[in-house]
Amino acid sequence: MRYRSQAVAYWYFAVAMVLFGLQLVFGLLSAAKYLGPDPLLYILPFDVTKVIHTNLLIVWVLTGFMGATYWMVPDESRTELHSVKLAYIQLGLWVVMGVTAIIGYLFRWGTGNKLLEQPLPHKIVIVIVMLMFLYNVGMTIKKSGRFTTTEGVLLLGIGSAAVLYLPALLHYENYTVSIFYRWWTIHLWVEGVWEMIQGGFLAYLLIRLSGADREVMEKWLYVIVGLVFFAGILGTAHHYYWVGVPQYWLPIGGFFSALEPLALVGMAMYAYGAMRRSGLAHPNTLALHWTLGSAVFTLFGAGLLGLAHTWPSVNKWTHGTLITAMHGHAAFYGAYAMIVLAMISYALPSMTHHRREQGTAIGYWAFWLQLAGMFGMTLSFATAGIGQVYLERILGLGYLDTQLKIQVHFVMLIATASLFTVGVALFIWDFFRYAPRFEVTTEVDPDMRMDAPPIPEAPRLA
């Protein structure tokens, strides 16, 4: 840890870990219901457990993003955070918002707008928290005057994520209009600006873990951002196929969303190229596992599995089935969960006592068990989804009759989800078992190494 205020990140990561664990509890409860009859039907029905499962995912990943940003920005801008106090107030507000939202869902307090179920007061708190966060990060960069491309991309992603939350505040009686604007938040987050956040963290980690030149890495980052914008924005239309909007959205959605994997191919090539060209320049090989794993699993889950059902003539059979769950689980885990876990694995050795820099044995078990578990879960959803599409959409069997026929795949889902949960439990245990230390050390900035190439003069901010 080179700056004392980076310690803020530890508490964000700790909260993220707790919420990640809870997310899996509600995920397993939801999966078990497919094997019903469900003994918890009148206490925790599927709609409640699923809402909590998906909302916890969004909240813990955003908490991880905030913590990782508070770790990365002082490092990149070579200064302390503008306000540590503000960062802790922000975390406090965020936790209160998250906990009350979850309790509210248990009592059916929500808007019913999928993934944006938060009641209006909670949404307002989310906006306030995002503004506090952006202000703190922006002022830190302004104070230092050093603004790297890596943090520029990260900041653009975070700022855009805040702006794109605004459509979620609006309420429409018309269901089609409501869905139309809902995707401005959800799609443009996960298939747009969040990819920039991932790209920013990926570049930061690769610059620090490999010996890659900052200048080369940051040029690639522009290419990735360009591809995200080019395909991701109009790719939103793949959510508009069957929601009651004009037919011209079909070819637009099909064409642009088919191009979306290009950015992800670029990201995987980028990570592979950096390691191949420059080799390892840091002892933390566990963080490297998570970093490269994120790039590759994103290509698999978001790129290939997204492409598998994005074309309109395929999607007319698969939309709203377990094929979507297949894509969603692998994509979100690879792109966002893994990059947060990579940032945590990178930052943790310098924030805790007695932790090995290259990662602990438990850390590696956590990595491989999670990977195996998530791969198995993806295959379970895929096989269940293919069966569902054939029986329900092609043969015309009823929904519940179909669910009975594909139950065996849910046995596989629960088995592999349990494996995944063990992997996550090991990560959480490994996180908490060493006490934090928060001592400033004199680590060498990769840009300041004797063998590092000269970097261009950083632009001065007004």
Sites of contact with another protein (CB under 8 A): 4, 7-8, 10-11, 14-15, 17-18, 21-22, 24-25, 28-29, 31-32, 35-39, 84-85, 88, 404-405, 407-408, 411, 414, 417-418, 421-422, 424-425, 428-429, 431-432, 435-436, 438
The residue among 14 and 212 lying less far from another protein, judged by its C-beta, is: 14
Instruction: Tell me whether residue 153 or residue 428 sits nearer to another protein (CB atom).
Output: 428
Tokens, residue 361:
């044995």
Give min distance, CB of 262 to another protein, in A.
37
How far apart are alpha carbons 368 and 286 in whole angstroms? Answer: 11
H/E run at residue 134? helix 120-144
Least distance in Å: CB of 407 to another protein?
Answer: 6
Q: Considering the complex, state which of residue 127 and residue 425 has its C-beta at the smaller distance from another protein.
A: 425
Q: How far is the CB of 314 from another protein (least distance, A)?
A: 28
112 Rama sector, left if φ>0, alpha if ψ -120 to 50, beta otherwise? left
**Residue 8 or residue 188: which is nearer to another protein going by CB?**
8
Which is nearer to another protein, 291 or 421 (by Cβ)?
421
Helices then strands, counting H and E runs in the chain, come out as 18, 0
d(CA 430, CA 338): 16
Amino acid at 452: A
In the bound complex, what is the minimum distance in angstroms from residue 226's beta carbon to another protein? Answer: 39
Which strand (E) or helix (H) includes residue 96?
helix 84-106
- Judge contact between 208 and 138, C-beta under 8 A: no
DSSP E strand stretches across 117-194? none
Which residue bears the tokens 């951002």? 225
Q: How far apart are CA 240 and CA 249, in angstroms?
A: 7
Cβ of residue 131: shortest distance to another protein, in angstroms? Answer: 23
Least spacing, CB of residue 24 vs another protein, in Å: 6
SS3 318: helix
Q: Amino acid identity, residue 173?
A: E
- The answer to whether 298 and 198 are in contact (CB under 8 A) is yes
Q: Identify the CA nearest to 205 among candidates 266, 97, 306, 281.
A: 281
Q: Which is nearer to another protein, 17 or 101 (CB)?
A: 17
CB of 160 to another protein, least distance (A): 30
Nearer to another protein (CB atom), residue 10 or residue 290: 10
Rounded to the nearest whole angstrom, what is the least distance from the CB of residue 332 to another protein in the complex?
19
Copy the structure tokens of residue 136. 């703190």
The DSSP call for residue 460 is P
Our CB check for another protein shows the closer of 27 and 254 to be: 27
**Tokens at residue 212, please?**
């890659």
Tell me how far, at minimum, the Cβ of 17 lies from another protein, in Å.
6
Alpha-carbon gap, residue 335 to 209, rounded angstroms: 19
**Alpha carbons 313 and 434: distance in angstroms, whole number:** 52
Nearer to another protein, 132 or 417 (CB): 417
Report how far residue 102's alpha carbon sits from residue 330's, in angstroms, rounded to the nearest whole number. Answer: 24
**What is the smallest separation between the CB atom of 365 and another protein, expressed in angstroms?**
15
Neighbours of 451 (CB within 10 A): 6
Q: Which is nearer to another protein, 8 or 101 (CB)?
A: 8
Upper half-sphere CA count for residue 158 (Cβ side, 13 Å) = 29
